[in-house]
Structure 1
Amino acid sequence: MRFERSNTYGPMAILLHWSVALLFLIQIPLGFAMTMLDRKPALQFALFQWHKSLGFLTLALASARLVWSLAHRAHAAPEGVTRLEWRAARTVQFALLAATLLIPLTGWAVASSSPLRIPSYVFDLFVVPGLPIAVSDAAETFWSSLHGWLAYGTALLILLHGGAALFHHLYRRDSVLRNMLPFLADR
């Protein structure tokens, strides 16, 4: 079922957007921190498990976001936004959605391909089994590299996305950012 177009996002789209964004923004420093603690193995192990737990949560919420976006029509372009700008915005939004699925999946592949075979304890509630992929140092290196490059590339896309939203809000003074921030709706 698809709903009619509007110029605003609904509460569920807003909740999923900001939940995934917050999780991603937490994951970046957590990813750096966990790789810098070689001399503190207990803390490093805990940070890796938190990173994996938040990654699985991100994957679940991003999957829900994908399903939600497929079931609901995209909102109409705000007044004053050119066709080229709208296509660029939609392309970046699609790339960000894809990244929020691919980054956790490649992280899962890193854990699954590691010869260390360390289980992924999700919030100490249950263990997520590994993906059925090759286990080797080379496979772990490949997936780890891809995971990192996707994360860095996505961080750049987030800066572009956020910068464009601020440009619209502060310079053009249109509704682009207000559509995603309901507490700004009446300004």
Structure 2
Amino acid sequence: MLRNNKESFGLISILFHWVIALIFLGQIPLGYWMVRTSDFTLQFSLYQWHKSFGFLVLGLSALRLVWKFANTRPSDPATMGPLERATAHAAHVILYLSLFIIPVTGWAIASSSPLQIPTFMFNLVVIPPLPLGISDSAEAFWTAIHAYLAYFSAAVAVGHILAALHHHFWKRDAILTRMLNPHRKAPERQLTQKVKS
């Protein structure tokens, strides 16, 4: 099942979700490591990898957003109350915005840095800088915004993960399984039948 239906996500949505999530979360330890290493050759490589994966997240997120609007969104299970639905919706909005804003602020750091080190995306494409003012203060500003947003979105992502695990192990609904198995036609109905039997 490539496309979503009213009960489950399709394979393409699932792949977008997990690939972007893994890269996005992996960027945090990579970013932490690159600013703390004293090996300048290694630091240069880590910066280039960090920037490359950031642009990859930006591109994949744009494609994912197009796919999202072109597909049906599975309905929420009946186990979710109004407050929980509102909280989940807010978390999704924050995470979606983060997938665009954080890479762009990282791009702004490279663009405003007085060092003007080119960005070699996976050593294949040179990414041009944004038309921003170049100064130490501008670089420091964008660096702070980038870091605060990254840690904030990581905290939201952890809450998102814990909520999914809560639904899977405590409420035993289909919130997590529908993002794991694209062939599951009616996860909640199947679960109910198993409980009854």
So what's the TM-score if we normalise by structure 2?
0.88
Looking at structure 2, the residues matched to 108 and 60 of structure 1 have their Cα atoms a distance apart, in angstroms, of: 13
Structure 1 residue 72 displacement after superposition = 2.3
Looking at structure 2, the residues matched to 8 and 30 of structure 1 have their Cα atoms a distance apart, in angstroms, of: 33
Structure 1 residue 76 displacement after superposition = 1.0
SS of the equivalent of 1:179 reads helix
Across the aligned residues of Structure 1 and Structure 2, the Cα RMSD in angstroms comes to 1.8
Structure 1 residue 63 displacement after superposition = 1.1
Is the Cα–Cα contact under 8 Å of residues 7 and 179 in structure 1 kept in the other structure?
yes
> Which residue number corresponds to residue 178 of structure 1?
177
Aligned length: 184
Q: Which runs of 5+ in 2 are unaligned?
A: 192-197
Higher relative contact order (CA 8 A, sep 6+): 2
1:114 is aligned to 2:119 = no
1:44 is aligned to 2:49 = no
Looking at structure 1, the residues matched to 128 and 101 of structure 2 have their Cα atoms a distance apart, in angstroms, of: 18
2:164 aligned partner, one-letter code: A
Is the Cα–Cα contact under 8 Å of residues 178 and 184 in structure 1 kept in the other structure?
no
Q: Which runs of 5+ in 1 are unaligned?
A: none
Looking at structure 2, the residues matched to 5 and 91 of structure 1 have their Cα atoms a distance apart, in angstroms, of: 22
Looking at structure 2, the residues matched to 117 and 130 of structure 1 have their Cα atoms a distance apart, in angstroms, of: 9
Q: Which of 3-12 and 121-130 deviates more? A: 3-12
Residues 124/46 of structure 1: CA separation in 2 closer, same or farther (3 Å cut): same
Matches within 5 A, 1:93-112: 93-112=92-111
Identity among equivalent pairs (%): 44
> Which residue number corresponds to residue 140 of structure 1?
139
Structure 1 residue 183 displacement after superposition = 7.7
Is the Cα–Cα contact under 8 Å of residues 51 and 121 in structure 2 kept in the other structure?
yes
Is the Cα–Cα contact under 8 Å of residues 79 and 171 in structure 2 kept in the other structure?
no
Q: Which of 86-95 and 171-180 deviates more? A: 86-95
Instruction: Select the structure of larger CA radius of gyration.
Output: 2
2:89 aligned partner, one-letter code: R
